[in-house]
Structure 1
């Protein structure tokens, strides 16, 4: 996650290449040649123990000690056994960045039973040297004229950064991109990532002004999932991030490592990447098409697609693909239809897609595109061409290019065929217009952009008003877990699991317990009517215990028992089966419930599981004990708000059933979402909660009812996404009026109150805060300000009940600190409502952010204000900030050291 010294990889002033020779098969020689041919403007030197005078025209020395000066970047292509020693010598000479292209470091050193990989890490650790690789392709930065790789060709300059784990996929991507005339801002593969990992590189590139989008190819997760998701979420706020994640091979050994209740680890990655607001592709073809759209398309205005072609066959292919992907066909306005009627044959059906007819000329293509792209109901246009005698591909392409350059809409093209279509595609590539071989590919590329837009919208949706939690109930929940752990149990008894649900306001069926058949009969007599009896034992107290044997729980369950004889007979048979399989201390008695037939209930499975990589997950889908239940298992990383819960429910086929059968769809969905949010709260409150399964959860006209529940416990774990830090909440009273208020971290639900705060600011206050006059913030801006990643940013607000008698709280002021990924510097900003000046809010908020940043180890807190903002400057000095006028920016800089730096790189960063 740390970006320290990464600048030396991407913008080095000098490079030394170890292991370079003039041999044709020399990797170091190839890298040196690429650096020279790429036009690297810094100092180059080769290092080879053979004592060459020069290698490929570059001066060469024998060892580190003979280097005329230490390089910014060392590129190591030497034999595996020598790498650790080179790293050790470089570190001793204050070199801070090493790119290792050598492979084979996973080989064990037989003398010490350690891998060379571990030896390299041990060699680097005392000196703080950063390592990229080993076994990677290298890195290319066209803006720095640097090709530090063994790639067979160089890359063009562009706006998309590529980060990969596979070197071979990387070289294939370079070759394809050059053929398509697509460029990159940065291109690198990480190999085994012994030190510099994906999160650190994403953090670096997220701050690069020349990188507009990030394309990530990954085979596996390395490092902490929380670091990865935090970096990706932060980058996706401002840049388009797309991920190619290969499917996991599901062998028997790997299945043992799956999260309980999950039959495919790929679903977990889907959930994690969706939660991060990025777009995932699954094949190399999709990756290429995604890069085509990433590098050529403008941001989408919406999802409505218009399709034009000189024939209905290709139109039908595109439309069918669009509808299967849940895409949206644009509907033309009356004005557009009338204009197209004058251009097209009289038998045109006046609908989208538009058939331009087989005799369509280049002029007709251009005019139709011009008309359609001006329609307010159209967000993007796909132009498809099939070769005819009346409209040759190249001429039609030129006509389309002229119109596409003048429109604000995205224009995608598909020139079908090969012999006559290649030239047209080349012209589109040169013009920067996305082009595809088939209509289906073009639609898939468009839908990738749509899905990315949808993910971003879900991530930025304003949550519903916050629901206060019952803290006393949650204390009791923690007691239940502590009791079980104190007794050496890694599960809750059935009665404890039911109580846990009740503590979180989840409706649960009444259960009655007995140790003997006679006890069950007595309960059945008291209840009357039909009952269900379940035998409890050491296996079925655990959630998801049916994964390997889907009918296992049926053996321990008897349903629809009407008469006392039926109860006695069925319970006796259950007892016999259980005693046959388990010892006395493994048998836990019986649970009896009244049957809930006759309500036309939908059975749902909902719960919590724990993934080895991503930690706690919420799951939702069809329930009961059906064999195909796992086919509808939908996953999402907690914590959840209402918007995320709704997205989870709507992906399940349960939602389709509700829409088709329920007369109160909205109520049913809301109840399910509230239950998911409560489970999310439970996960946050109880880090020892390993798994929880409610199966079945009944949904009918009476509402929700959990019929059966089981809970398992484990070692405490953290969530992959930082939850709301409620412990930072503090009650206060305003200095002047004595009004009660709360200082607490901001949350997504505060968006409406945050907008109201802004509307209480005068034009002068807005200018002092933002350094310029500006309009009302958009929803996207407000979502960014309120839905923060607490690992990287903190915003404290002062919140108080409204004085006008309306429900809810209002925000009186806010202070914000955004910290760099290395926790070196944090930039603060503060704004107080105009009508509350003099209440002491500025001191309260600033002191909170100072204390918070100091405690988390941040080295320096800084901010800037206009020279005319005397009040802010006085407040800063009062709190201990040093202020200084910055003539270049015409602002006053305010800085406070919170903790002292301990490493050289930190001191350097503070001086920048």
Structure 2
């Protein structure tokens, strides 16, 4: 048997921060505060007092060159060299010019974590500040010391009795982590949460993020068992967008991630650089966060309400909501908001309806939302909620109360709380008003019941949870099988772009753009090109029938050129030209218009096409653009020249599969039009999905492809036709989501049977075959692989195993055509998960029982060794049970060093792949 322990999730990439060192920030056993004094305005003194007040149990040391004996009762030392021991965490509150020197000394003394609260290093307009930041970064680099800040407010971890911040109040223990970039918003959140009696698992702001950045913190919190949800407040992405998206994708698989994103960056300027063809940066961030599985909130109020929901809601059973109130006005507000947010109003059962009729007025309409009437008593509220929470069609109940003499707010709240505590379903409350509602809300806060001020806020908070579950379902949807094809055509496409670059062009000609679409099997019409009016007339005569003529110039060779002046789209186009005289007249007008605006060397002749409007054709705009932060994007929406295509601009980050492409289509007005007018809705949607996937392939294959626009793309009963297109080129771009590593595919033959197979990276489409593979394993193989007996994996588990982030882990499989029937089957799999600093990669491998002796173990392990070596990983490690002699024999054969781990009762296997080049790498290998 060739099974060993499963690798645990981790992160890879030499520029990412290892979560191992983050423990020194969040769980330090000793802390030294530099710059602490007892002056009222001393930041270091405030931090030290907060640490003392929070009950921190570790060792505290103050450092100040002024020679104080003590600061707030804590012994003070003149310098780092005077400390009796080196701290786990150094907190620096010293003057800006001294920070780099302190970092350098800390690194030389093997201190691995420092937090800089010193201000004045983050003013982006200041050359002085920039030089200080760079000096700090350079001081830390040789030693591998991790830096949090500068200009952060510090961090608070109530579970560790740690308040290492200058916050004005402490926080209580909770299950939600807050990570922000703005210190002021952070202090406001702390103040609000304290008033609402809401706690946190962790609370910190990052400031400038010189080293420890948002992705690193997200990775740490994703693994923290005390953190159930993560709230992110961000102004911009500092560093790699791919790292950010990757971290959020990984975290959101297990925990709710909510994001408040503003458009103002730290120096107060508005972020204005937009991707061509996109009119709003928010759309791009929405697309990125949705792709990563996060839920975005739009205002600080929504963020506060989200915290209320996350801290107090029970596990979600579903998204069907029942609404109950003592009046139809508030019910209508909540219902309208729910429908606008695309929520689901539950259909109550006949049994529940009958039971409610016994306690409600005779005029009740028998439907949800439930109107209890203005004379409703607290007891009627409670009984109605009790009945609704027992209805199998109801997943959650929102109770809205407007104060009356019959039902005082506090009395009603107390009765509702009694019911809410006894049901596994979520009961959300809304106490309208202020004078009498405040105390009712306070009672709910004390009881841990979610409570809000308005019906709209209540519904928004509920829908944030619904959106999260919908995102998770979409992320884990099994993609339909789809195979890349036409490798020779893709090679010719690469050559086409290289030839254009060699000629000094940053665009493709119209004919080249059409050829590019043809190479990716995107249908284009019969098209002719002419240099002058005579040539256009001759082409029209040859084509016959109605034609369209377009004048080409230096601007409309580029995609999305119309964004700044939409009215010019018609200037260069003549449609529905039936006679030769019409063609000559229209082309003459086009030539005159172009000559008014462009020099002769800026014009490029004419395009002539037969009119392909077709009966009931739908015009679509689809393409590729490049965002300055997130890189390549896929665009899709209603198109044509007579409308504003930006009004239906839907965006998704590539690469795409069928499931993602279908989501993109369904979010557009195009889908509504198809649903209402097409006789073959699924066929039409499938055609669009295939085209979107081919565009995605194009983005992956051609990193120099900057923008591509097809407008219009015609869809009718004959299929798709790309009528007009334009392509621009640029420097090679990096996708925000790592694409499938097709270059690692390898054709192989099994050693004993000679059976043909392919050795490749796993992909989401492999889920059905992976389930069959697992079910084929014997109980002994499963025990050796997982170290315990386990049942059949769920869809969520299989999705996590097959829909991997190739930046974070790698899984190679041997896949072969089935011996009987169609399709492929998985014969063996190996996984390798590398830590953030690219020091160690932990492998796991399992081979199907009936495939033993076919050489799959050597094949998969050698592929992993070669892959990790090429990535610069220093060491490959694994462990297996002492009884698994087959795995141990394979490891020895490949050159692993074998040793028995008495503490874990396992056999460790280690292989050095690359030699360390830095002192910190050597230190990591030794610890």
TM norm structure 2: 0.94
1:764 paired to 2:785: no
CA distance in 2, matches of 1:315, 1:28: 52
Q: Deviation per CA, 1:599-658, whole angstroms, max 9, x where unpaired? A: 222211110001111110011112123453212111111000111111111212222222
* Residue of structure 2 in register with 1:841 after alignment: 856
Q: Deviation per CA, 1:206-265, whole angstroms, max 9, x where unpaired? A: 222222211111001110111111111111112211111113599999686211111111
Q: Deviation per CA, 1:853-874, whole angstroms, max 9, x where unpaired? A: 2322223333333444343333
CA distance in 1, matches of 2:268, 2:564: 12
How has the CA–CA distance of structure 1 residues 837 and 160 changed in structure 2, closer, same or farther, with 3 Å as cutoff?
same
How has the CA–CA distance of structure 1 residues 572 and 642 changed in structure 2, closer, same or farther, with 3 Å as cutoff?
same
8 Å contact from structure 1 (residues 248, 266) kept in 2: no
CA distance in 1, matches of 2:90, 2:652: 42
Written as runs of structure 1 = structure 2, the 5 A alignment for 1:741-756 is 741-756=757-772
Out of 670, 692, 715, which is 1:654 matched to?
670
* Residue of structure 1 in register with 2:213 after alignment: 197
* Residue of structure 2 in register with 1:9 after alignment: 25
Out of 118, 126, 131, which is 1:115 matched to?
131
* Residue of structure 1 in register with 2:502 after alignment: 486
* Gap regions ≥5 residues in structure 1: none
CA distance in 1, matches of 2:923, 2:412: 57
Out of 552, 569, 586, which is 1:570 matched to?
586
How has the CA–CA distance of structure 1 residues 604 and 151 changed in structure 2, closer, same or farther, with 3 Å as cutoff?
same
Q: Deviation per CA, 1:157-191, whole angstroms, max 9, x where unpaired? A: 11211110000000000111111111111111011
How has the CA–CA distance of structure 1 residues 249 and 864 changed in structure 2, closer, same or farther, with 3 Å as cutoff?
closer
Displacement after TM superposition at 1:382 (Å): 1.4
* Residue of structure 1 in register with 2:94 after alignment: 78
CA distance in 2, matches of 1:346, 1:406: 29
Q: More relative contact order in 1 or in 2 (CA 8 Å, sep 6+)?
A: 2
8 Å contact from structure 1 (residues 604, 620) kept in 2: yes
* Residue of structure 2 in register with 1:356 after alignment: 372
CA distance in 1, matches of 2:323, 2:129: 63
* Residue of structure 2 in register with 1:610 after alignment: 626
8 Å contact from structure 1 (residues 96, 128) kept in 2: yes
CA distance in 1, matches of 2:598, 2:140: 54
Q: SS at the partner of 1:404?
A: helix
Out of 692, 696, 699, which is 1:676 matched to?
692
* Residue of structure 1 in register with 2:843 after alignment: 828
* Residue of structure 1 in register with 2:733 after alignment: 717
How has the CA–CA distance of structure 1 residues 730 and 264 changed in structure 2, closer, same or farther, with 3 Å as cutoff?
same
8 Å contact from structure 2 (residues 621, 636) kept in 1: yes
* Residue of structure 2 in register with 1:243 after alignment: 259
Q: SS at the partner of 2:563?
A: coil
The range that moved more, 142-151 or 200-209, is 200-209
CA distance in 2, matches of 1:403, 1:54: 55
CA distance in 1, matches of 2:174, 2:266: 38
Q: Deviation per CA, 1:638-694, whole angstroms, max 9, x where unpaired? A: 000111111111212222222222232222221111111110000000001000000
Q: SS at the partner of 1:17?
A: strand
* Residue of structure 2 in register with 1:31 after alignment: 47
How has the CA–CA distance of structure 1 residues 873 and 47 changed in structure 2, closer, same or farther, with 3 Å as cutoff?
same
How has the CA–CA distance of structure 1 residues 257 and 700 changed in structure 2, closer, same or farther, with 3 Å as cutoff?
same
CA distance in 1, matches of 2:596, 2:332: 63
Q: SS at the partner of 2:561?
A: coil
8 Å contact from structure 1 (residues 255, 263) kept in 2: no
1:667 paired to 2:677: no
How has the CA–CA distance of structure 1 residues 109 and 239 changed in structure 2, closer, same or farther, with 3 Å as cutoff?
closer
CA distance in 2, matches of 1:592, 1:88: 68
* Residue of structure 2 in register with 1:435 after alignment: 451
Out of 587, 592, 596, which is 2:608 matched to?
592
Q: SS at the partner of 2:609?
A: strand
CA distance in 2, matches of 1:866, 1:599: 68
How has the CA–CA distance of structure 1 residues 890 and 297 changed in structure 2, closer, same or farther, with 3 Å as cutoff?
farther
1:817 paired to 2:817: no
8 Å contact from structure 2 (residues 490, 519) kept in 1: yes
* Residue of structure 2 in register with 1:540 after alignment: 556
* Residue of structure 2 in register with 1:157 after alignment: 173
1:276 paired to 2:289: no
1:124 paired to 2:143: no
Displacement after TM superposition at 1:101 (Å): 1.2
1:531 paired to 2:547: yes
Q: SS at the partner of 1:546?
A: helix
CA distance in 2, matches of 1:282, 1:530: 50
Written as runs of structure 1 = structure 2, the 5 A alignment for 1:277-292 is 277-292=293-308
Q: SS at the partner of 2:260?
A: strand
CA distance in 1, matches of 2:442, 2:140: 48
The range that moved more, 892-901 or 182-191, is 892-901
Displacement after TM superposition at 1:909 (Å): 4.5
1:858 paired to 2:912: no
Q: SS at the partner of 1:519?
A: helix
Displacement after TM superposition at 1:578 (Å): 2.2
Q: Deviation per CA, 1:832-876, whole angstroms, max 9, x where unpaired? A: 222322322222222222222232222333333344434333333
The range that moved more, 413-422 or 162-171, is 413-422
How has the CA–CA distance of structure 1 residues 253 and 181 changed in structure 2, closer, same or farther, with 3 Å as cutoff?
closer
CA distance in 2, matches of 1:114, 1:140: 28
* Residue of structure 1 in register with 2:355 after alignment: 339
* Residue of structure 1 in register with 2:887 after alignment: 872
1:42 paired to 2:58: yes
1:217 paired to 2:217: no
CA distance in 2, matches of 1:870, 1:334: 63
The range that moved more, 321-330 or 53-62, is 53-62
8 Å contact from structure 1 (residues 642, 673) kept in 2: yes
CA distance in 1, matches of 2:158, 2:270: 40
CA distance in 2, matches of 1:734, 1:128: 45
How has the CA–CA distance of structure 1 residues 264 and 596 changed in structure 2, closer, same or farther, with 3 Å as cutoff?
same
How has the CA–CA distance of structure 1 residues 250 and 529 changed in structure 2, closer, same or farther, with 3 Å as cutoff?
farther
* Residue of structure 2 in register with 1:784 after alignment: 800
CA distance in 1, matches of 2:747, 2:344: 49
* Residue of structure 1 in register with 2:12 after alignment: none
Displacement after TM superposition at 1:905 (Å): 4.6
* Gap regions ≥5 residues in structure 2: 1-15
Q: SS at the partner of 1:383?
A: strand
Displacement after TM superposition at 1:26 (Å): 1.8
Displacement after TM superposition at 1:492 (Å): 0.6
Q: SS at the partner of 2:393?
A: coil
* Residue of structure 1 in register with 2:281 after alignment: 265
Q: Deviation per CA, 1:558-600, whole angstroms, max 9, x where unpaired? A: 1121221121122122222323333333221111011123422
* Residue of structure 2 in register with 1:208 after alignment: 224
Out of 525, 529, 539, which is 1:513 matched to?
529
1:898 paired to 2:913: yes
Displacement after TM superposition at 1:320 (Å): 1.3
Displacement after TM superposition at 1:336 (Å): 2.7
8 Å contact from structure 1 (residues 139, 148) kept in 2: yes
CA distance in 2, matches of 1:552, 1:251: 37
Out of 468, 472, 476, which is 1:452 matched to?
468
How has the CA–CA distance of structure 1 residues 381 and 911 changed in structure 2, closer, same or farther, with 3 Å as cutoff?
farther
How has the CA–CA distance of structure 1 residues 441 and 493 changed in structure 2, closer, same or farther, with 3 Å as cutoff?
same
Q: Deviation per CA, 1:505-561, whole angstroms, max 9, x where unpaired? A: 111121101111111111111111211111112211111111111122321111121
Q: SS at the partner of 2:845?
A: strand
Q: SS at the partner of 1:302?
A: coil
Q: SS at the partner of 1:6?
A: helix
Written as runs of structure 1 = structure 2, the 5 A alignment for 1:312-461 is 312-461=328-477
CA distance in 2, matches of 1:109, 1:325: 41
